[in-house]
Structure 1
Amino acid sequence: MLRAEAVRRTGLADFGAPGHGPALDLLVSALETEARLTPAGRAEARATLLRALCTRLRLHVLPAPPLELAPPVVLVGLPRTGSTLLHRLLDQHAALRAPRLWELLAPVSPAGEVGTSDLIAQAARHVADLRRTAPDLARIHPTGADEPEECEHLMNTDFRNSVFGLLSYRMPSYASWLAAQDLTSAYTLHRTQLAHILARRPAPAGSRLVLKSPSHLWHLPALDRAHPGTRFVVLERDVDEAIGSVCGLVSAARRKRSDHVDPVEIGREMTAATHAGLSRMYAFTTDPSAAYRCLTVRFADLVADPVATADRVLAWLGLTGDSGLHRRWRDHLSLNPRPAHVHPRAACGLAPADPPRASHALEETS
C-alpha cells in the first residue's frame, strides 16, 4: 500500500483532511486499468505518488509559514503557447521569483534531513533520467534541476493534477472526474507548499512569485480563491496550431510511460480538452472581477520579439528592465534557442491547420 509505505518512510501518520483519499484511489485505479503502463512507467508513477504522500505527511506536521509576498503572477494558457520562454525571462528580474524544479519536487523536508545541495542533486538525477528515457520530451520541454519549472508538481500532493491526468498518462476516467471537481483544497495546499519553499529560500520583500502550469487552465476560479489578487498573463496561440503542438507533447510524454500509445485517441482527447479549457479560461478572464487583472500575450508576438514582450509584461506589473536585464535576456535567448517541434497532425487524425486566425482579444488593463 502506498500510504503504508509513506508512513514507514517518514515515521509520520497524519495525512490531513480525508478528502484526498477518493482522489488518490481513483488515480491509482486509472493508472492500473487505463494507462497501459510499462514496468518503468509503473515504477515512475509509484515513485511520484509516494513522493506526494511523503510531502503531504510532512506538511501536516510542520507549521505553515506565512506567505508574505505580493499576490503572484500566473502565466495561464494552453500548453505550447510560449510559457516556458516567458517564465524564464521574467524570473531574471530581481522582483520576480519562479520556483525551481528541485524546490517543486521537494517543497518541504524535515530540518536536517537533507540539504539544498542534496535536493538539487536528486532533481538532477530526475532530469538525467528524463533525458535518457524520453529524449523527445526533454527536447520539447527543456528542464533543469535549478531552472524555473511548472508548479503543477505541487498539485500532486492533493492528487488533483490535470497535467498528470490529461497529458502525462492515459486516464480518461480520472480526467473526466477531475474536470468536474472544485480544486480549492488542492490550491490551498499549493499555497502552503509555496510558503514552505519561500521559507527555505526567501525572496526579496515586495517581490512576486511568477508561476505557470497548463493545469491551471481548467481551474482558474479555485486558484484565484487560494491566491486572491493574482495577476494573470493570458497566453494565446492559434487554436489549431496549439492543438497540433500539444499532441506532439502528449505523444512524447505518454511514450515515456507506455508502449501502447494511440495518436488518433490523443488527437480526439486534446481537441476536446483544449476547447473545454479555453471556454473555462475565457469565462474567467473576461469576467469583470478578473479581467482588470489579466494581460493578453500572443504567441506570435512573443516568438517574434521576446525582449519587447517581456518588457511589456514588466511595464504592466509596474516594473522596469535595465540594460543589464536586457543583456541577460539576450544571452539566455542565444544559449537557449527554441527547439524544433514537428506537429504530428496527420498521425493524430487532425486536419491540416488552417491559416492562423485572429485570437480572442482582451483589453490590456492594470
Structure 2
Amino acid sequence: MTNAASTPRETTATHRDRLVAAAIEAAGADDFGADTWQEGLDIYIESLVDSAQLNEIGVGVADDGIVADLANRLRIEAWRKEHPAVGEQEIRQPIIIVGQPRTGTTILLDLMAQDPANRAPLTWEVERPVPAPQTATYTTDPRIEEAQAQFDLVNSFIPGFSSFHELGAQLAQECVRIFTGDFKSMQHSLQFEVPAYNRWLLHEADMSDGYRYHRRFLQHLQSEHHAQRWLLKSPQHLWTLPELMAEYPDAIVIQNHRDPLKVIASISALGASLREMTTEHFEVTRLAEQYGEDIILGLDRALEARSNKVFDTGQGGRVLDIRYQDIRHDLVGAIGRIYDQLGWDLTAEAESRMRAFLDAHPGDQGGSLKRYTWAQTGLNEGELRERAKAYQDYFDVESEPLD
C-alpha cells in the first residue's frame, strides 16, 4: 500500500481521502454520521508523517488501523439506520474502571467480567462489531476465530508481548479501542511517536464528542445481547473525568492507584515493545519523557476532579478508590470488598469463575519482555517524586523501589 509516511509529497488531505475511500469500499457504505472524527484523523495523519519515522511494517500498521476504524464506524452507522431501535438502548449505571496504566486495571476488568451480571465488551466484538453480536451465538460467532488468528500473529512479531499484556479475542477490551473510531484515543500515542496528536488529544480535543460516540458503540453492542450492567475500563478516562461523568452521570467509577514512577517505567516498556516494531528510530527516553509529563497531568486532573466534586452528580454516580498495594496479593478478595461497598452479592459461581480465570491467566511473567531500568528512562526521580507528592499524599499511595 502506498503511504504518505513514505511519500512526503502526499498532503494530509490526500492521504486522508485515500484512506477514507478505502474504508468506504471495505464497508460498502459512505455515511460516517457526525463529523467529529475528522479533526483528530487529520492531526493524527500529519503527526505520523512528521514524527513517527515509520518503517515498512509501521506504514502498514498505521494505515490499516485507520481504514479498519473508519470502516467499523461506517458499518455501525449503516446498521443503526437499518435498525433504528438501537438508538433507544439505555446505558444504565455502568461500572467504569479508571486509573494510571499498569495499575492492575486490566486484571480487575478481566476478573469482574467473569461475573455473569457484568457485561464487558470483548475484543472480538469491538474489532468486528457488525452485525451486532447476538446472545444465541455470542460464544460461537465465527468472528471470534478470525480475531484470535490475528492476535496469534502478535507474538510472532513481538515475542513475549502477550505475557506482558495478554491479548485474546474473548478477553475484555478497553474503551481506548472504542475511542479510535472517533480518533480521540491514547492508543495512537502509545503505539506511535505522534507528539502533536498527543498534545491535541490531551489539551484541545472535545472529548464530549468522543463519549457520545462511545455511547453509540455500546448501544450497538448491547442491542441484541443484553446484560445487567456494563463493565468498562480504560486509563484514558483519568484525563477526562468531567466529560465521562457528564455522559454517564450514574456511573460507578473504580479508580486504581499506584506509585506513578513505577507506572511511568512500566508503560514505557509496553510502548517500547510496540514502537520498536514499527520504526528504526526508537529511543526509550522520548517515550519516558512523554509519559513523565502525561501521567502527572492525569493525576493532577484526578485531584481536580475530586476538588470539583465531579462524582457528585445527584444521579447515583460514585467513586471507589483501590490501591495497588491492597490488591496485588488478593485480587478476588479485593473484588469482594468492592462488591460489599456497592451492596452487591458476589455469588459463589462468580467467585469460582474469577479464581479459575486467575489460575489460567497468571499475567505478566518476569523477564517475558524487554524492560528498562529507571536510569535508562533518563528521568529525574526527585523531580517527578515531588510533582507526584500531592497525589500520593491524597490517596495514601506508597512509593515503590525503582530498579
Question: Given the two structures, how large is their TM-score scaled by the length of structure 1?
Answer: 0.90
Give the one of 27, 31, 36 matched to 1:19: 36
Q: Which residue of 1 aligns with 2:57?
A: 40
Letter in 1 for 2:341: W
Q: Which moved more, 1:141-150 or 1:215-224?
A: 215-224
Kindly provide the CA deviation profile for residues 294-326 of structure 1, in whole angstroms up to 9, marking residues without a partner as x: 110011111021111111111223212133333
Query: Could you tell me whether the CA contact under 8 Å between 1:163 and 1:214 is conserved in 2?
Result: no
- Please report how far the alpha carbon of residue 33 of structure 1 lies from its aligned counterpart in structure 2 after TM superposition: 2.2
Aligned residues: 357
Q: Which residue of 2 aligns with 1:59?
A: 76
Q: Which residue of 1 aligns with 2:377?
A: 348
Give the one of 166, 174, 177 matched to 2:197: 174
Kindly provide the CA deviation profile for residues 325-354 of structure 1, in whole angstroms up to 9, marking residues without a partner as x: 333222222222231354532221135698
Q: Which residue of 2 aligns with 1:82?
A: 104
Letter in 1 for 2:88: P
SS, match of residue 296 in structure 1: strand
Give the one of 110, 113, 128 matched to 1:106: 128
SS, match of residue 219 in structure 1: helix
- Structure 1 residues 111 and 350, CA gap change in structure 2 (3 angstroms): closer
- 2:173 aligned with 1:149, yes or no? yes
Letter in 2 for 1:103: E
Query: Could you tell me whether the CA contact under 8 Å between 1:55 and 1:109 is conserved in 2?
Result: no
- Please report how far the alpha carbon of residue 163 of structure 1 lies from its aligned counterpart in structure 2 after TM superposition: 2.5
Q: Which residue of 2 aligns with 1:326?
A: 351
Kindly provide the CA deviation profile for residues 141-194 of structure 1, in whole angstroms up to 9, marking residues without a partner as x: 1121011121211101111112222x1111001001111222111111111111
SS, match of residue 256 in structure 1: helix
Q: Distance in 2 between matches of 1:324 and 1:197?
A: 25
- 2:152 aligned with 1:128, yes or no? yes
Query: Could you tell me whether the CA contact under 8 Å between 1:107 and 1:194 is conserved in 2?
Result: no
- 2:24 aligned with 1:10, yes or no? no
Q: Distance in 2 between matches of 1:83 and 1:111?
A: 25
Q: Distance in 2 between matches of 1:257 and 1:337?
A: 28
Question: Given the two structures, how large is their TM-score scaled by the length of structure 2?
Answer: 0.82
Letter in 2 for 1:175: N
- Structure 1 residues 200 and 28, CA gap change in structure 2 (3 angstroms): farther
Q: Distance in 1 between matches of 2:339 and 2:87?
A: 28
Q: Distance in 1 between matches of 2:171 and 2:114?
A: 11
- Structure 1 residues 359 and 92, CA gap change in structure 2 (3 angstroms): same
- Please report how far the alpha carbon of residue 122 of structure 1 lies from its aligned counterpart in structure 2 after TM superposition: 2.2
Q: Distance in 1 between matches of 2:215 and 2:51?
A: 31
SS, match of residue 297 in structure 1: strand
Give the one of 237, 246, 260 matched to 1:216: 237
SS, match of residue 93 in structure 2: strand
Aligned 1:230-241 pairs, distance under 5 A = 230-241=251-262
Alignment RMSD: 2.5
Aligned 1:189-268 pairs, distance under 5 A = 189-203=213-227, 207-268=228-289
In structure 1, stretches of 5+ residues that fail to align are none
Query: Could you tell me whether the CA contact under 8 Å between 2:105 and 2:233 is conserved in 1?
Result: yes
Kindly provide the CA deviation profile for residues 279-305 of structure 1, in whole angstroms up to 9, marking residues without a partner as x: 112212443241671110011111021
Q: Which moved more, 1:185-194 or 1:311-320?
A: 311-320
Letter in 2 for 1:306: L
- 2:72 aligned with 1:49, yes or no? no
SS, match of residue 378 in structure 2: coil
Q: Distance in 1 between matches of 2:376 and 2:124?
A: 35
Q: Which residue of 2 aligns with 1:274?
A: 295
SS, match of residue 51 in structure 1: helix
Q: Distance in 2 between matches of 1:293 and 1:189?
A: 23
Letter in 2 for 1:85: I
Q: Distance in 1 between matches of 2:327 and 2:231?
A: 17
Q: Distance in 1 between matches of 2:340 and 2:171?
A: 24
Could you list the structure 1 runs, at least 4 aligned residues long, displaced by more than 6 angstroms after superposition: none
Q: Distance in 2 between matches of 1:10 and 1:334?
A: 40
- Please report how far the alpha carbon of residue 108 of structure 1 lies from its aligned counterpart in structure 2 after TM superposition: 3.0
Letter in 1 for 2:206: D
In structure 2, stretches of 5+ residues that fail to align are 1-17, 397-403
Q: Which residue of 1 aligns with 2:10?
A: none
Query: Could you tell me whether the CA contact under 8 Å between 1:217 and 1:277 is conserved in 2?
Result: yes
Letter in 1 for 2:377: C
- Structure 1 residues 5 and 111, CA gap change in structure 2 (3 angstroms): farther
